[in-house]
Amino acid sequence: MSNRMWGGRFESAPDAIMEEINASIGFDSKLAPQDIAGSLAHLAMLEARSIVSPADAAAIRDGLAAIRGEIEKGDFPFERSLEDIHMNIEAALASRIGPAEGRLHTARSRNDQVAVDFRLWVRDTADALGKQVAVLQRALAEKALAHAGDVMPGFTHLQSAQPVTLGHHLMAYVEMLGRDRSRFADARARMNECPLGAAALAGTSFPIDRHMTAAALGFDRPTANSLDSVSDRDFALEALAAAAICATHLSRFAEEIVLWATPQFGFAALSDRFSTGSSIMPQKRNPDAAELVRGKTGRVVGALIGLLTVMKGLPLAYSKDMQEDKEGTFDALQTLSLCLAAMTGMVADLRPDTGRMARSAGAGFATATDLADYLVREIGLPFRDAHHVTGRLVALAAGRGVGLEDLSLEEMRGIEPRLTQAVFAVLGVENSVASRTSYGGTAPANVRAQAQAWLDRLRDEV
Ligand code: ARG
């Protein structure tokens, strides 16, 4: 039997492998709610424009409502021979209400139908992701406020560089996530145009009202060019790009949790709720959730690259290649949602060992820059000379296997005679972080103010 929806000029059914490669119902059944919402908006417009009679419109509306109920209950018999979600729903509607069903597809095509369904899904999912990012920001800012004054080593090249506070470190991620949220919001603003009514590619001769359908589906306006409407997937690409960047941020923090949870670092522990054991090594506590957040980033980035690659050679307008837009996008955005939830749980669960962090903060001559700054400020050396003098003091301490603060004033004066007892104040890590009061710096007062400002902002948003 040829296909009822398009089989007019066909005599026989497709080859089994043709059906298999062609069908998308295995994954696009997820778009059923959007497909029905799009059909209802289209139908209301066709009726308002007297393209479909009130009686036919009523029958179609009731039929769609019944199908929606069946799908929600899990009773709907999706069929691969009907290819995709659009034709599955249409066929079900036809068997319920008879020939009136055929009027629903006036002035539209599956090309604008899938474009609108997918856009609705991506838009609503991006909105939900933005909210989840805000929830994670709040968890981080709360933790940061609690640890605004706790000192830890700041790293460059993963070598101890200068002391910072744990609160400052956590707030760095709050900033990154704030930009992630604004990327989702920017993408949303651009994608929120309705392609419905572009029909197959050229528009339609029916007197449709695209502004009406756009408004009914919560879009800001209809898309302005029918070819563009059915042939671009940049809205999904932008959402995937925002997701890939966000996942990359989560992955970096996940990597830090993995490092911090090692016995060698010992900066923080996760409770049993977020750790797993080893089946052979009884002593192990593994941070699997953090590793998986890091690992799953690969899938999110992969989906972006995958869809860019699908799109890059396509001539206008629709080509079936574009059916490959969905699985990766669904997977990537759902994966990010899971990662955000897991990360939010881990942040709340994370128990920093502030004593150990503070001891480590002083190691590795982490206050050498403070010493150099002191030489500039108090003794009036040019910074380059101060750097050199400090380097000699570090070499002296390193040679003796002690910290800078363990050198005697005499020993220090052997290198720079103008030094006084006051130098010891700048060698302490607490003093070091407290002195970093420049805007955006790590001074606890700054961190407290930043964390509080974010919590105030987030209060209205989550
Ligand atoms: N299942 C298709 C997709 O996801 C729907 C559009 C099909 N259009 C067509 N002309 N064959 O892209």
Give the residue whose CA is nearest to atom 4 of ligand 1.
323
Is 157 a catalytic site residue? Answer: yes
Question: 404-446: per-residue pLDDT in tens?
Answer: 888 999 999 999 999 999 998 888 889 899 999 999 999 999 9
274-302 per-residue burial string, b: 16 or more CB within 10 A, e: under 16:
bbeeeeeeeeebebbbbeebbebbebbbe
Is 24 a catalytic site residue? Answer: no
Residue carrying structure tokens 């563009």: 228
Residue 276 is given by DSSP the state B
Locate 208 and state its tokens. 């449709």
Q: State the Cα–Cα distance between residues 5 and 86, nearest whole angstrom.
A: 10
- Among the listed residues 347, 119, 367, 113, the one whose alpha carbon sits nearest the alpha carbon of residue 220: 119
**Which member of 2, 53, 271, 278 is catalytic?**
278
111 C-alpha to center of ligand 1: Å? Answer: 6
Residues 229, 256 contacting (CB under 8 angstroms): no
Residue 31 near ligand 1, beta carbon < 6 Å = no
Q: State the Cα–Cα distance between residues 299 and 332, nearest whole angstrom.
A: 6
Residue 230 near ligand 1, beta carbon < 6 Å = no
Q: State the Cα–Cα distance between residues 65 and 157, nearest whole angstrom.
A: 60
Beta strands in 236-367 (DSSP E): 268-269, 351-352
Residue 322 near ligand 1, beta carbon < 6 Å = yes
Mean pLDDT over residues 315-341, rounded?
A: 98
**Which member of 12, 157, 408, 438 is catalytic?**
157
**Is 21 or 9 the better-scoring residue by pLDDT?**
21
112 C-alpha to center of ligand 1: Å? Answer: 9
Which amino acid is it at 89?
Answer: I
The reported pTM is 0.93
**Residue 1's pLDDT is what?**
53
96 C-alpha to center of ligand 1: Å? Answer: 24
Q: Which three-class secondary structure string do you get for 395-444? A: HHHHHHCCCHHHCCHHHHHCCCCCCCCCHHHHCCHHHHHHHCCCCCCCCH
Task: Give the ligand 1 atom nearest the CA of 318.
Answer: 10
Which amino acid is it at 228?
Answer: D
Residue 323 near ligand 1, beta carbon < 6 Å = yes
69 C-alpha to center of ligand 1: Å? Answer: 24
> Best substitution site from 323, 325, 326, 330 to test ligand 1's pocket, by max atoms within 8 Å of Cβ?
323
Question: 85-129: per-residue pLDDT in tens?
Answer: 999 999 999 999 999 999 999 999 999 999 999 999 999 999 999
Question: 30-78: per-residue pLDDT in tens?
Answer: 999 999 999 999 999 999 999 999 999 999 999 999 999 999 999 999 9
Beta-carbon count within 10 A of 422 CB: 9
> Best substitution site from 27, 29, 89, 110 to test ligand 1's pocket, by max atoms within 8 Å of Cβ?
110
What is the dihedral sign for C-alpha 45, 49, 53, 55?
positive
How far does the chain reach from its first CA to its final CA, in angstroms?
54
317 C-alpha to center of ligand 1: Å? Answer: 12
Residues 6 or more apart whose Cβ sits within 8 Å of residue 324 = 306, 307, 310
Task: Give the ligand 1 atom nearest the CA of 326.
Answer: 4
Q: State the Cα–Cα distance between residues 303 and 300, nearest whole angstrom.
A: 5
Give the residue whose CA is nearest to atom 2 of ligand 1.
323
**Residue 260's pLDDT is what?**
97
Residues 17, 64 contacting (CB under 8 angstroms): no
